[in-house]
A and B are shown apart, each in its own frame.
Chain A
Amino acid sequence: MSEQEHDTGGASRRKFIGAAAAAGGMAVIAPGIHLIEVSQANAPTRPPGEAASNLVRWGMLIDTNKCTAGCDDCVKACATENNINEKVADVRQGSQWIRKIEVKEAKGGHTFSLPMMCQHCAEPPCVDVCPTGASMKRADGIVLVDRHSCIGCRYCMMACPYKARSFVHQPLTGQNPEVPRGQGCVESCNFCVTRIDKGQLPACVESCAKAGHHAMIFGDLNDPSSEIARRIAQTATTQIRADLRLDLGVRYQGI
């Protein structure tokens, strides 16, 4: 099964599940990636020149049973990968691509900890409200900000139910060449889109696995043979604020 078949955007749902399942079988091993992670990601790298396909829906599953309170390996990995290292006197003016939230059930007292970031909605409110179309969803489900047309109105921050969007409050230097970011635009988690396009895992997922927690897995929700799809089929998972029916790409287990 070749990758090219992924390109037929208008294919019926039934057809693409078959195609995606077959594609999931072939894992391309990129340099520096452990085999176990590749099997999690099921990331078929697209050949150069090929657009992202809507046959793929990238998603993440976070197991709160394995996520430790106080551990912020994923937050640190995100900051390192995306060079979110600017100094701000007021922490609220700094960028928050991913943050840890400690949750306690008010009456019973059951507690759990989880990372919160852009949930990569299938129906993203940020995309609906963006006046210029800068806030966008890529064919494979990744929600991004096109900084070239972002005017910094911050309406998407108003619309996001997860506080996942941040506004860059000051001039930046020292950006990662692969992760451009700068003053006056809104930004958020992009699932490490450049890494995914190279067949690598998002930095947070990689760091969580490296530290031995394995609380985060990443993969193609549309591919029934991927680990994430199998886990979601077998265990109870939660979409946060499911009442809004945004069809999230990030799911949680153990809430």
Chain B
Amino acid sequence: MEIQHQHIRLEQYHPQKIYLFYVVLAVGALISALGLGSAYYMEHHGHVVTGMNNQVFWGLPHVFAIFLIVAASGVLNVASIGSVFGKKMYKPRAPLSGMLAIAMLAAGLAVIMLDLGRADRLIIAMTHFNPTSVFGWNVVLYPGFFGIVGLYLWTLMDKPMNQYSKYAGFAAFFWRIALTTGTGSIFAFVVARQAYHSAILPPMFIVMSFAWGLAAFMIVQRVMFGWCDIMIDVSIRARLKNLLGIFIAASAYFVIVYHLTNIYFAKQTGFESFILLNGGTITVIFWLGYVFLGTILPLFMLFHPDIWPRPLAVCAASGLAIVGAFSFLYVFIIGGQLYPLDIFPGMEVTSTFMDGKIDTYVPSLPEILLGFGGLGIAFTITVLGVRSLRFLPNDDVTVLDGGGHILE
């Protein structure tokens, strides 16, 4: 049976709702503009106007940026499942998945770049290349991702190019694995810090990217379909929510192993008890934000037979998974810097600069706005994308059976 590969443009369904598009676009543009304005303010006055300092030098902007970058590579997974693993249900979703990947990566990079001390020297970052730097590798991996996903989208959306989509899909899949490995390695290769130096981080980031990316995809798909008054077929929803649940659980598994290894090493117990027991805000964010809201609750919602079929239940669980993502990254990035560096193992140290002392971090308004500005940029690109090209999936549900399997 021929599977339809048509994609929806918004106004195909409700031309009278198009004014809403401008409202939504204006909101996105406003949030983005606030972020850009904050970045300008930070560049002008220096980072003295942020909550960051020489102990916690990667702050809230980095939480947002790393979320966007990791989720960007993960959201492409929806397309990969279709092209690389040949699951037909995912194929109509590939264009939206690719477009979201580009939007989120662009937004994440924008936040990272705008937070630089010398954002005006972006050209130096692109022309001076240090081959031993993980950041340096990423300077190759990120633009490469744009290029390959762009090509992939072309093969998906241009009929004569369709024949190449499998190859482009493979390339994009391998590239995104490399990219997330690169992002995880930013931390994994930091030999000096007890919070980061671990080979488990790159695979952990890859699994987390699956969960975060799929969660982001589900929310976008739900909102866009809701806009067009289309209900996603329950069989499709069932398969997607099961997959999301598996990814959330797998992420939790990696987090457990990461913390267990640290707890087992005597030299790391201080750090672990800070994160898990007596870190104040950090501990609360870990248990409440990541463990309960971001893992247990969405898993419960996704797998409870009475809850998940309700309207918005899967979407809400996806939202919670993203709350979990931010909580995890906040604890990982900020918490990892708040705990003092172990320069003299086994010794008690004091100094004028936070040696032996647990630091505090309070993000300032410009940082918060810059972070949300990143989300605004991703949002704006997505809205423009679905308005101008046929990105939305159009499912031919007649070919699916009750369990969401394709009838062939």
- Using a CB–CB cutoff of 8 Å, the interface residues on chain A facing chain B are 88-96, 99-106, 116, 125, 127-134, 149-155, 157-163, 165-171, 183-186, 240-241, 244
Q: What are 20 A-B pairs with beta-carbon distances under 8 A?
A: A101-B350, A103-B344, A103-B348, A105-B348, A129-B133, A130-B133, A130-B135, A152-B118, A153-B117, A158-B190, A161-B193, A163-B55, A163-B355, A169-B53, A169-B54, A171-B45, A183-B117, A184-B117, A241-B343, A244-B192
Residues of B within 8 A of A92 (CB): 53-55, 353-354, 359
> Which B-chain residue is minimally distant from A90 (CB atoms)?
B53
Contact yes or no, B46 A100, CB < 8 A: no
A184 vs B347: C-alpha distance in the bound complex, in angstroms? 34
Q: How far is the CB of B182 from chain A (nearest CB, A)?
A: 12
Any chain A CB within 8 A of the CB of B40?
Answer: no
| CB proximity to A under 8 Å, residues B80-137 | 116-119, 121-122, 124-125, 128-130, 132-136
Contact yes or no, B133 A151, CB < 8 A: no
Any chain A CB within 8 A of the CB of B23?
Answer: no
A160 vs B323: C-alpha distance in the bound complex, in angstroms? 31
> Which A-chain residue is minimally distant from B359 (CB atoms)?
A92
Any chain A CB within 8 A of the CB of B12?
Answer: no
Contact yes or no, A88 B343, CB < 8 A: no
Any chain A CB within 8 A of the CB of B25?
Answer: no
Q: How far is the CB of A247 from chain B (nearest CB, A)?
A: 14
Q: How far is the CB of A217 from chain B (nearest CB, A)?
A: 22
A125 vs B53: C-alpha distance in the bound complex, in angstroms? 21
Q: Majority SS of interface residues in chain A?
A: loop
Interface residues on B, range: 35 or more
| Given A92-B354, A158-B190, A132-B117 contact (CB < 8 Å) | no
| Given A170-B46, A170-B48, A240-B344, A152-B349 contact (CB < 8 Å) | no
Contact yes or no, A157 B130, CB < 8 A: no
Residues of B within 8 A of A106 (CB): 346-348
Q: How far is the CB of B270 from chain A (nearest CB, A)?
A: 11
Any chain A CB within 8 A of the CB of B282?
Answer: no
Any chain A CB within 8 A of the CB of B191?
Answer: yes
A184 vs B116: C-alpha distance in the bound complex, in angstroms? 7
> Which A-chain residue is minimally distant from B336 (CB atoms)?
A158
Residues of A within 8 A of B57 (CB): 154, 157-158, 167
Interface centre among B117, B343, B344, B350 (most CB of A within 10 A): B117
Q: Which of A94, A151, A241 contacts B118 (CB 8 A)?
A: A151
Any chain A CB within 8 A of the CB of B341?
Answer: yes
Q: Which of B45, B124, B132, B350 contacts A151 (CB 8 A)?
A: B124
Q: How far is the CB of B135 from chain A (nearest CB, A)?
A: 4
Q: How far is the CB of B173 from chain A (nearest CB, A)?
A: 26
A94 vs B48: C-alpha distance in the bound complex, in angstroms? 9
A166 vs B52: C-alpha distance in the bound complex, in angstroms? 12
Contact yes or no, B191 A101, CB < 8 A: no
A27 vs B133: C-alpha distance in the bound complex, in angstroms? 40
Residues of A within 8 A of B129 (CB): 131-133
Any chain A CB within 8 A of the CB of B398?
Answer: no
A210 vs B292: C-alpha distance in the bound complex, in angstroms? 60
A-B pairs, 10 with minimum CB distance: A152-B117, A184-B117, A161-B192, A131-B135, A92-B53, A170-B46, A132-B128, A169-B48, A170-B48, A184-B118
A10 vs B54: C-alpha distance in the bound complex, in angstroms? 39
A89 vs B351: C-alpha distance in the bound complex, in angstroms? 18
A149 vs B123: C-alpha distance in the bound complex, in angstroms? 10
Q: How far is the CB of B376 from chain A (nearest CB, A)?
A: 23
| CB proximity to A under 8 Å, residues B187-232 | 189-193, 196
A102 vs B134: C-alpha distance in the bound complex, in angstroms? 34
Residues of A within 8 A of B348 (CB): 103-106
Any chain A CB within 8 A of the CB of B139?
Answer: yes
A178 vs B352: C-alpha distance in the bound complex, in angstroms? 27
Any chain A CB within 8 A of the CB of B258?
Answer: no
A133 vs B135: C-alpha distance in the bound complex, in angstroms? 11
Contact yes or no, B117 A163, CB < 8 A: no
Contact yes or no, B47 A169, CB < 8 A: yes
> Which B-chain residue is minimally distant from A132 (CB atoms)?
B128
Contact yes or no, B53 A93, CB < 8 A: yes
Contact yes or no, B45 A131, CB < 8 A: no
Q: Which of A105, A153, A184 contacts B46 (CB 8 A)?
A: A184
Contact yes or no, B55 A244, CB < 8 A: no
